[in-house]
Chains A and B, each alone.
Chain A
Amino acid sequence: MTDSQHIVSSYDRDLEGVQALIIKMGGLVETAILDCAKALELRDEELAERVRKGDKAIDALMEQINEETAFVIARRAPAASDLRVVLSVMKMSNNLERIGDYAKNIAKRAGVLLQMTPIDGASGAVRRMAREVELMLKDALDAYIQRDPELAQVVSNRDKEVDQMYNALFREFLTFMMEDPRNITACMHLHFIAKNIERMGDHVTALAEQVIYVSTGKMPEEDRPKADSTPYEIHGDPMAGKD
């Protein structure tokens, strides 16, 4: 996908083939993210079921990509940019598959949450967060297609926003649970959903880093902005009230 063609044109077709699979997989994953959030907000049991079933297609795609990349490595012995394309495709398919799994997990929890009283505003916030991650993924895939490391860097930086949204939700759920212990089950599920979306964001970031690696040959420095402060937060502590 760089400027010129390989002398062996079937090599070009092989590489384009695996990359097309990644884009296709990305599309499926994007839909899964949006759908699981939508199912949660609209309490749409059917949609949630579709997302759960849809994960199988994503897993199958990953299998196919693994096979194809193995073939390319065995047959073409790729080097330099080609090698980076193949390596990144393998990693990206892994990342996408993980995102798909999270979406499936969210869809499962959405099914459980149907039987509970909804928490005010929570599902809307989750959906905004999911929307944000989906946009990041879309941009990351665009950056991949266009070999645009700058756009990928922007995507990577945007993970900070997702982290902040997660922080906010984390505190919100804490508050709900402290207010009324009956909310605990729902809030725990919602918290896992938020956490899943936050993890999705991390995978999208990893994916964006692969885009940078493919196009520049270097991994980005490990100093991207991180805003997930929850590991360091202390809640329910007697001192917390004094903040």
Chain B
Amino acid sequence: MYDNPNLERKVAQQDTKISARNVQVFYGDTHAIKDVNIEIPSRTVTAFIGPSGCGKSTFLRCLNRMNDTIDICRVEGDIDLDGENIYDKRVDPVQLRAKVGMVFQKPNPFPKSIYDNIAYGPRIHGLAKNKADLDEIVEKALRRGAIWNEVKDRLHAPGTGLSGGQQQRLCIARAVATEPEVLLMDEPCSALDPIATSQVEELIDELRDQYSVVIVTHSMQQAARVSQKTAFFHLGNLVEYGDTGQIFTNPQDSRTESYITGRIG
């Protein structure tokens, strides 16, 4: 049944992009993430699901060291990106974040023009030699963000004037513009209507060709729709991690079962 090439649900054996070993996260005295081990393959959409406060967002933010900005947050254990420990002392988080882009829950375009929103990342990282280069990068990013056709005539209009779904795709395009290898998405559709959600989900599926996408979502249906791998977090533990099809039809752990079937876990 998996031989049908049109059904690409099964994850082909791919190299590991991110691997986390014995990751612990503390917020002050709170043990937020307990001993998480996970291997995230490249060119795959991996979904993190779990009830509120289970630590899925926290763990996601560990992957590009966004937790560094929180004073009381302490991360232990190793997280490797292509075999390099991102928590190594020599790693500058700024450089890391250029490689591991992030899209947030609420669309958060800068209060600048659409063009400047996209161009900001390439500018600060010096990716463009001249204006023509930058124009090209902006167009490419907007095309990859599946929003080029909607905004090509008003690149200098404010990004905040777009609709919610367009704003979120703009944010994805902005993240893509810095040529990342991994895209982290923290509930990217929670503020969007179903149509905009579908557009973003379609985009996520397209992005899978080139990036590892890790998405945190509260919508189990969304996880089931967009991801190939699913990880279920509960009370700071990684309870179950496996192929999405298996997690949603036959989870191995009773906590996963209770959660995805809508029972009190």
CB within 8 Å of B: which A21-51 residues: none
| A81 CA / B264 CA spacing, docked (Å) | 14
The SS class assigned to the A binding surface is loop
The SS class assigned to the B binding surface is helix
The size bracket of the interface on B is 10 to 19
Is B257 part of the binding interface, using a Cβ–Cβ cutoff of 8 Å? yes
Query: Does the CB pair B248–A80 fall under 8 Å?
Result: yes
**Chain B residue contacts of A6, Cβ below 8 A:** 261-263
**Chain B residue contacts of A5, Cβ below 8 A:** 263-264
Query: Does the CB pair A79–B258 fall under 8 Å?
Result: no
Query: Does the CB pair A217–B262 fall under 8 Å?
Result: no
- Once A217-B249, A217-B250, A218-B250 are accepted as A-B contacts, the answer to whether A82 and B221 lie under 8 Å apart by CB is no
Query: Does the CB pair B263–A83 fall under 8 Å?
Result: no
Query: Does the CB pair B250–A84 fall under 8 Å?
Result: yes
* A side interface size, CB within 8 A: 17
CB within 8 Å of B: which A68-97 residues: 77-84
**Chain A residue contacts of B235, Cβ below 8 A:** none
Is B81 part of the binding interface, using a Cβ–Cβ cutoff of 8 Å? no
CB within 8 Å of A: which B221-265 residues: 221, 224, 248-251, 256-258, 260-264
- Once A80-B250, A84-B249 are accepted as A-B contacts, the answer to whether A8 and B257 lie under 8 Å apart by CB is no
Distance of B143 from chain A, by nearest CB (Å): 33
Query: Does the CB pair A80–B264 fall under 8 Å?
Result: no
| A165 CA / B249 CA spacing, docked (Å) | 38
| A7 CA / B262 CA spacing, docked (Å) | 6
Q: What are some 28 contacts across the A-B interface (CB < 8 A)? A: A2-B257, A4-B258, A4-B263, A4-B264, A5-B264, A6-B261, A6-B262, A6-B263, A8-B262, A77-B221, A78-B261, A79-B220, A79-B248, A79-B249, A79-B260, A80-B249, A80-B251, A80-B256, A80-B257, A80-B260, A80-B261, A81-B261, A82-B261, A82-B262, A83-B248, A217-B249, A217-B250, A218-B250
Chain A residues in the interface with B (C-beta under 8 A): 2, 4-8, 11, 77-84, 217-218
